Each structure stands twice: as C-alpha cells, then as structure tokens.
Amino acid sequence: EFVKESVVTYLQHDSTAIRKQAALTCTRLILRPGETIPKRGHMAKVVAEILSKLLNVGIADTEPSIRKSVLKALDDRFDHYLAQPENLRCLFIALNDEIFEIRELSIRLLGRQTTRNPAYVLPLLRKTLIQLLTELEFSSDNKN
C-alpha cells in the first residue's frame, strides 16, 4: 500500500531522474527478495496494479533510460504477474522500441514467460519471428 500511495505518483513526474528513481523504488519495494509472492487477495491486486503502471512507464516513457531501467528491474520475482495477458501485451509492444537494448530486454522477459503462459506467448513470438525474418529477407541493406 505504501508504494501505491506514496511512490507510484512520482512515475509521472516532470523530472527524468525522479521518474527513474520512482520506478526502481517500486520494483524494489513491491516484491522484496525472499518474500512469498502474493498470488491472491488484496496484496496481489496491489502488486498487479503497480506492475501495470510500471510496464506502462517501461513502454511509454519518453526517456529511453527509464524504459530500459524498468524492464531491466523486472526479474523472475515478477514472472507470475508478467505472464498475465495484459502485461504480456505491454512486453510485446516493447519489442517495437527504437532502442535495441530495450527490444532485447523485452524478448528476454517474453522468453521467460513461455513456460508460464505458452498458449499466449508462443504464437505471438512465432509471428514476431516471421515478421523479423521477412524484414531481413526483403531489406535493401542485404548485400547478398
């Protein structure tokens, strides 16, 4: 609750440094290492809501360093929540980011979710892979 009421509000701050620190603080406080991950009940809803806001920052913030920091901070403690369809959609959006490292982080996060929600992740990953291969095949930069 503290994170939701006190820290999340700073995710929309004008200052880049404050937004970045707010995002990193949220990831550190909502699921602490070693704690049992709440999968049901009020705390699970709070964590899911905060993670949704973090993912929105991770795909929509104007500052690439913030987007990168958010995605980088989402370690395997968050996988239960990341495997939810609404959060997976955000990760698939991040695959189209202009910054390569952000796309790479997104594909790593999605790869981790293939065991938790394969019915949702695998078809979209296949589609993305085919799209990328087609772009490579018809790229004007192709020297061969």
Q: Counting beta carbons within 10 angstroms of the beta carbon of residue 53, is it exposed (0 to 12), middle (13 to 18) or buried (19 or more)?
A: middle
Query: Which pLDDT score, from 0 to 100, does residue 141 have?
Result: 63
Express each pLDDT in 97-137 by its tens digit.
Answer: 999 999 999 999 999 999 999 999 999 999 988 988 898 88
Instruction: Provide the sign of the torsion angle of the four alpha carbons 9, 11, 12, 17, taken in this order.
Output: positive
Is 42:74 a contact under the CB 8 Å cutoff?
no
Buried b (16+ CB within 10 A) or exposed e, 82-120: bbbeebbebbbebbebeeeebeebbbebbebbeeebeeb
34-86 confidence digits (pLDDT tens): 777 788 898 889 899 999 999 999 999 999 999 999 999 999 889 999 999 99
pTM for the model: 0.84
